[in-house]
Structure 1
Amino acid sequence: MTTAISPSSSTSNGVETMKLNKHDVFPKKGSSCKQTLGKNIAMGHKNKTCGTLDRVSLVLSHWDSIDETVKYDGPLSLQDSYRGTIDRMENTSSSRPQSQVSGHVSEASTSNKAPNTSPLPHAAQQNRTMSTQSLNKHDYSTAGQVNGKVEDGDLKFERLKDLPEEALLPKVQELTAYLQRMEEYHRGDGMRVQKMLGDMYWDYTSLRETIGDALAKEGYAGASMKMLKTLNSIGIFKNDDVWFPTYYAYNTLWNFSDASSKLAQSLAENDAVRLLTLNCGHKPYLSAIHSKNVYYVLKASLSILHNIAKNPSVKHLFEENKTSETIMPFIQSEDEMLKILAMLTLAYIVDEEDNSKLIDDTGVIRCVVNWIDKALDQQRRRYKGFTPTELTEGLDKLAVNDKNKMKIIEEGALPLFIKMLQSEDVHEQSACARCIWTLSFDKDARKKIIEYPELVQTLEKFSDSANKNLQKNTSGALWILNGENEASKAATRPKSAAASRTKGHIFLSYSWSDKEIAYQIRDRLRAEGYALWIDVERMGGSTLEAMADGIENSAVVLVCMSEKYKQSPNCRTEGEYTFQLRKEYIPLMMQKKYRPDGWLGAILGAKLYFDFSGKYPLEKSFQGLLKELRGRGQVTPGNTPTGGDMDGIPMTTSYLEPRTNTKYYKDSTDGPPLIQSSSTSNHASPSTPSHHHTVNNNILNMGQEEVAKWLRSIKLNECIPTFNQFDGKLLLQLRDMRQEAPEFFYQCLEKKLNMSLIEILKFTKALEELH
């Protein structure tokens, strides 16, 4: 993501008190210095007309990628009466006019006036009743000493530059602890602490993620949310004493939540999604969006939401706070920055059905592809602050939805991918290869990609790259493009010695982000005498062949479901290969409040899954898993439970039907209810549908028109022409073929009837339930 502020390297990063006379702040009417005053302040020049600056250092600046200039970017003082660089000064000395010190905004400043109301006005328990006089009594001139050494108890407010890592992280801990102890933040210390932490982002560029992770560990997210809610209760635009610490808090959160996914997740867990969503929907802010400060709050809020949204495990928080509905209007904004932030955030947080609507209604794919093109043409490979890597990562998330894959290609993404692969930036190359891998799961997209031989040849060049991510993503893309995931390749692929030795094992398919729970399951199964095939160092490169061996020779596959699993092309490769080989598999839920959709939901169908998300005790879920395994993959006898019922075991039958079709069966124990969709209630076992059907006259009496209606009812309208000669009797024969010759059945659907994997899954499930 684009970052909030970057200090210029040409001058000191410090912010010192600037001494100006009255005419520096309010030039006489008709004075010609109005347009040049800001420039002179920034450069430290003397100006005879406007007065003399006793001491000037650079305020704050960032690199503006729109016009490739350094722009001065600090909190706009609520009391400044005109625009220019002076608007960006952090403070002026106590010699400014009393009307400013009192927080009064003159009529001349109405163009920059911000609303004095905030969302969550009573959110913080630390809300104090403060008179305007007590707020204004504080002289902010000491704020310029952030870069000096101001003692406050045991804490020194100083620039923490050039410290070794072993000394830096204790400072992070110290500053965070100080922030946690604070009760009031508008007296100056709140701003100082946030700015000291924020400066670390620029002073230690190679340690940004490390610092962000340390902030998450020490509780910085909770302390900052408490701070922002407290300042909200006062009104962040009440005066500079409140606005400045608010600004630096957002600035630091924006930058480090981009650098550290752990901090982004910690923010979500500390109510940040709710506050930031309220910011984006706050009517006084929206009506004053042209104010620089209000615009900054909205831009920072959307940016932090975008950073948080990259963590799939907190997706449910966006749904609970109706974030998608709140930020959707920004897609129609004339401001491209807000528009693209909203689009990319929505790409992460909406489900597949809403994702399709988002694409159809907003043209988001065209916009993102266009921005990638513009970023590639820029000398610094950025457009509106976004790099091609960041934009391609957003495109990859959109590509997870199969309906979007061809749209991405049709908008002209593939020629841009060739440019990215031919760049010298390994991050660009890796993000591009991953997106191609994701696109390749669609057969039509595969054909289009193969039509670009230069693209495929470049991927082949990187298949043995020294960079692990690049090598994994290019090898994965080539694996799918070359058809290695097809069942027909399994018979001809050479078997490894390891596969021969471990035939009949359990294959554990999981996302790297769920590895801790996966390892607990692995250890417990091994203790019970089961042989497991588990990827400890992530799949990639030659290990794709190892993955294929592992699945081909397994007795059963455990599919560890989560949003991250669904989004991972590597996990999809494993999941679809399991399905292609028609291997027995047991789904395990790894994420709370997650409901699989898209390709993962289609594979899951109506199978029973066991909940390892932490909602229930792990041991109770594990006992249910042992019963379901029924000894498959067990090498040595253990204490595996056999027979008996499943009372008290947290198991759930997935469903794609509406919740109203669901029947609930309460345990005889205090365990969670067993949930089973009505479509599976007649199955012989919870996990394995019975193949013994009672055929009634309904299916036998179906004509071609009834078959077409049935296909519409299961949302396979596109398959109606393919089945135009089928009646009920032929459907019945097709179902019998599935039982008697399953391999030929699936080959017919794919090769003869030209059905995609998702269509095959939907059709097979519906055919099984047709009576």
Structure 2
Amino acid sequence: MLKQMNSLGIFKNDDIWFPTYYTYMTLWNYSDASEKLARSLAESGAVKLMTLNLGHKPYLDNMHSKNVYYVLKASLSILHNIARCTGVKHHFKEIKTAEVVMPLISSNDEFLKSIAMLTLAYIVEEEENAKLIDETNTIKNIVTWIHRALENKQKRRFRGFTPWELTQGLAKLAVNDSNKAKIIEEGALGDFLSMLRHTDPKEQANSAECIWTLSFDKTVRQAIIDFPELVPALEELQEHENTVVRKNVKGALWLIKGENDPAASSNRPHSALAPKNHIFISYSWNEKELVKKIYNSLAAEGYKLWVDWEQMGGSTLQAMADAVENSAVVLVCMSERYKQSPNCRTEAEYTFQLRKDYIPLMMQKRYRPDGWLGAILGAKLFFDFSGKYPYEKPLQGLLKELRGRGKSAHPGGVNSVDETDASPDAVQPVVNNVALTTSSPSTPINSLATTSATCVAMNHEHVENWLVSKGLQRFSNAFSQIDGQLIWQLKKMRETAPEYFHNSLERQFGMTLIDILRFNAALDSLH
């Protein structure tokens, strides 16, 4: 309807303008209340239309007109509501919405200025973060607005925004590790304390979630511990009747009290019924249905799995820690929502700290992990379950990569566990590791047999000699931390994720097209 009225000219006459006005009003209000509607709008082209409105010079030149101003205000507000959804960021990236919205931060209109900042908090990429923060004072402004909303005792709003809405935007910025200290420096902790002590569960839940996210930074965590009455306020809410409040509070306290440190594991009580040698699946609630499909496929193959189907987070962190500690391998289900979730980060970082073997799975189309999740992924092989390839292709790759780890020793026996299903009689898996032959550093590369077993036995010197023998000696430094096992992983990555493989060679190793062709030929020599 809006596209059709646009083609007619929305200001041509009242017969066009009034339907346009009421349509924008409806979308503005209901996209705020319904994530399903907001997501549908993104998929129907609304992001492009609203972005075109905001960048339309005649509209910007005539902002003094009441009706034109309304279109701009409604368009930006609808974009903000859409931006709060997960998995829609690519719509904004494709048409460069951030570049169109950024100038509005300098607007004299306070409403447009504030909604522009909040929208950008959701849609900017990690690498664009510095520009948003340094040039616009976004963090300082949002913290100030939270404070003013709290000061407004009657309405508890500032420029139409509640404290919990503003904190929700701030929490998205807090995911970026470089923003954490800045949020503390701007004085957010005092406002979080006020929100924790308020009676609104949304305020309590969002402030606790933001504290949880901030606590991944060691220095910031200490500032939280030192802030008067903040930790006691969290402790008072540990048994709150609201499950989201309880989850976020316990998650924050888990990090604040150092329970995420593997060294603290020996001091914690452990369940005698804890399952062992299973596959632990770390995932975001948004991907639950796809995770269930993968779960059922692996269970049908005789694998034993641990999954927290209720995603209760804080109330089951002890169970999570036990399950990760006793797992044979961890599946990390990557997506935009996974990166934003402090619960998911807690699981992923605990896995990483324990040096547990983990296998990344891509769950979202057009998603490229960055920030802390990108750091954990590194150059590791991942399997793409986003729908880009037929389901069976990544599944077969995953089964091959698991090599029987987490598999029940007795086909047809108990092969799956979750937080409430930790039977002491659970059968133990058979772990079929590849037997590796070893070579001394002085062994010439040409004397190594061309099997995967001997390939993965190559040490760093062998890899360097191999590169030299293939005319790729200038990459010796770039590959200095890569041994034969990782070379073999790269070869498998080329088969299962060719696009990511070639992008990685270009982006992370600085290879030209000729270099990539030579490297591919070198990999072909390894059988």
CA distance in 2, matches of 1:353, 1:554: 34
Q: How does 1:578-727 map to 2 (within 5 A)?
A: 578-635=351-408, 636-637=410-411, 692-694=459-461
Matched residue, 1:428:
203
State the AA in 1 paired with 2:251: G
State the Cα deviation string for residues 581-622 of structure 1 (Å, max 9, x = none).
000100000000100000000000111111111111112211
Matched, 1:342 2:116: yes
Report the CA distance between 1:310 and its aligned residue: 1.0
- Whether the 8 Å contact between 2:333 and 2:361 is mirrored in structure 1 is yes
Report the CA distance between 1:292 and its aligned residue: 1.1
Q: How many residues were matched structurally?
A: 436
TM-score, with structure 1 as normaliser: 0.54
**Which ranges of structure 1 fall in alignment gaps of 5 or more residues?**
1-226, 644-682, 699-712, 715-730, 737-764, 767-771
Matched, 1:530 2:299: no
State the AA in 2 paired with 1:507: F
State the Cα deviation string for residues 113-151 of structure 1 (Å, max 9, x = none).
xxxxxxxxxxxxxxxxxxxxxxxxxxxxxxxxxxxxxxx
Q: How does 1:102-251 map to 2 (within 5 A)?
A: 227-251=1-25
Report the CA distance between 1:695 and its aligned residue: 7.5
Report the CA distance between 1:321 and its aligned residue: 1.1
Matched residue, 1:110:
none
Matched residue, 1:201:
none
Matched residue, 1:324:
98
State the AA in 2 paired with 1:694: E
**Which of 331, 341, 348 is 1:575 aligned to?**
348
State the Cα deviation string for residues 327-373 of structure 1 (Å, max 9, x = none).
11001111111111111111111111101221011100000001001
**Which ranges of structure 2 fall in alignment gaps of 5 or more residues?**
413-430, 433-449, 466-476, 484-507, 510-527
CA distance in 2, matches of 1:262, 1:412: 35
- Whether the 8 Å contact between 1:464 and 1:541 is mirrored in structure 2 is no
The higher relative CO (CA closer than 8 Å, separation ≥ 6) is in: 2
Matched residue, 2:85:
311
TM-score, with structure 2 as normaliser: 0.79
State the AA in 2 paired with 1:304: I
Matched residue, 2:523:
none
- Change in 2 beyond 3 A, CA 1:453/1:685: farther
Matched residue, 1:120:
none
- Change in 2 beyond 3 A, CA 1:249/1:533: same
- Whether the 8 Å contact between 1:305 and 1:345 is mirrored in structure 2 is yes
Matched residue, 1:287:
61
CA distance in 2, matches of 1:526, 1:289: 60
Matched, 1:445 2:220: yes
State the Cα deviation string for residues 419-468 of structure 1 (Å, max 9, x = none).
11111111101100000000000011001101114010000011111100
Report the CA distance between 1:697 and its aligned residue: 10
Report the CA distance between 1:494 and its aligned residue: 2.3
State the AA in 2 paired with 1:565: Y
State the Cα deviation string for residues 177-232 of structure 1 (Å, max 9, x = none).
xxxxxxxxxxxxxxxxxxxxxxxxxxxxxxxxxxxxxxxxxxxxxxxxxx001100
Q: How does 1:342-421 map to 2 (within 5 A)?
A: 342-379=116-153, 380-421=155-196
**Which of 34, 37, 50 is 1:263 aligned to?**
37
Q: How does 1:504-515 map to 2 (within 5 A)?
A: 504-515=277-288
Q: How does 1:516-527 map to 2 (within 5 A)?
A: 516-527=289-300
Report the CA distance between 1:490 and its aligned residue: 2.1
- Change in 2 beyond 3 A, CA 1:278/1:556: same
State the AA in 2 paired with 1:381: R
- Whether the 8 Å contact between 2:152 and 2:158 is mirrored in structure 1 is yes
State the Cα deviation string for residues 661-701 of structure 1 (Å, max 9, x = none).
xxxxxxxxxxxxxxxxxxxxxx9979x98772118999xxx
Matched residue, 1:125:
none
After TM superposition, the structure 1 stretch with the greater mean CA deviation from structure 2, 616-625 or 251-260, is 616-625
Matched residue, 2:269:
494
Report the CA distance between 1:498 and its aligned residue: 3.3
- Change in 2 beyond 3 A, CA 1:286/1:519: same
Report the CA distance between 1:493 and its aligned residue: 2.4
CA distance in 1, matches of 2:464, 2:335: 41
After TM superposition, the structure 1 stretch with the greater mean CA deviation from structure 2, 541-550 or 490-499, is 490-499
CA distance in 2, matches of 1:480, 1:257: 35
State the Cα deviation string for residues 707-727 of structure 1 (Å, max 9, x = none).
xxxxxx99xxxxxxxxxxxxx
- Whether the 8 Å contact between 2:246 and 2:315 is mirrored in structure 1 is no
**Which of 311, 318, 322 is 1:545 aligned to?**
318
After TM superposition, the structure 1 stretch with the greater mean CA deviation from structure 2, 448-457 or 572-581, is 448-457
- Change in 2 beyond 3 A, CA 1:684/1:268: farther
Matched residue, 1:479:
254
Matched residue, 2:244:
469
SS in 2 for 1:258: helix
Report the CA distance between 1:312 and its aligned residue: 2.1
- Whether the 8 Å contact between 1:313 and 1:591 is mirrored in structure 2 is yes
Tell me which protein shows more helix as a share of its residues: 2
- Change in 2 beyond 3 A, CA 1:441/1:690: farther
- Change in 2 beyond 3 A, CA 1:425/1:696: closer
State the AA in 1 paired with 2:188: A
CA distance in 2, matches of 1:488, 1:534: 24
CA distance in 2, matches of 1:510, 1:546: 15
Identical aligned residues as a percent: 65
State the AA in 1 paired with 2:83: A
SS in 2 for 1:383: coil
State the Cα deviation string for residues 281-314 of structure 1 (Å, max 9, x = none).
0111000111111111111111110111111211
SS in 2 for 1:586: strand
SS in 1 for 2:394: helix
State the AA in 2 paired with 1:393: Q
Matched residue, 2:438:
none
- Whether the 8 Å contact between 1:405 and 1:442 is mirrored in structure 2 is yes
- Change in 2 beyond 3 A, CA 1:597/1:697: closer
Report the CA distance between 1:503 and its aligned residue: 0.3
State the Cα deviation string for residues 222-262 of structure 1 (Å, max 9, x = none).
xxxxx001100110011111000000001010111011111
- Whether the 8 Å contact between 1:533 and 1:550 is mirrored in structure 2 is yes
State the AA in 2 paired with 1:232: N
State the AA in 2 paired with 1:250: Y
CA distance in 1, matches of 2:456, 2:230: 44
- Change in 2 beyond 3 A, CA 1:617/1:244: same
CA distance in 1, matches of 2:464, 2:245: 57
Matched residue, 1:757:
none
State the AA in 2 paired with 1:228: L
- Whether the 8 Å contact between 1:463 and 1:541 is mirrored in structure 2 is no
State the AA in 2 paired with 1:519: K
CA distance in 1, matches of 2:97, 2:301: 45
Matched residue, 1:172:
none
SS in 1 for 2:382: strand
SS in 1 for 2:129: helix
State the AA in 2 paired with 1:526: A
Kindly report the root-mean-square deviation, in angstroms, between the aligned alpha carbons of the 2 structures.
2.6
Q: How does 1:751-770 map to 2 (within 5 A)?
A: none
CA distance in 2, matches of 1:561, 1:696: 30
User: Highest Rg: 1 or 2?
Assistant: 1
CA distance in 1, matches of 2:463, 2:342: 42
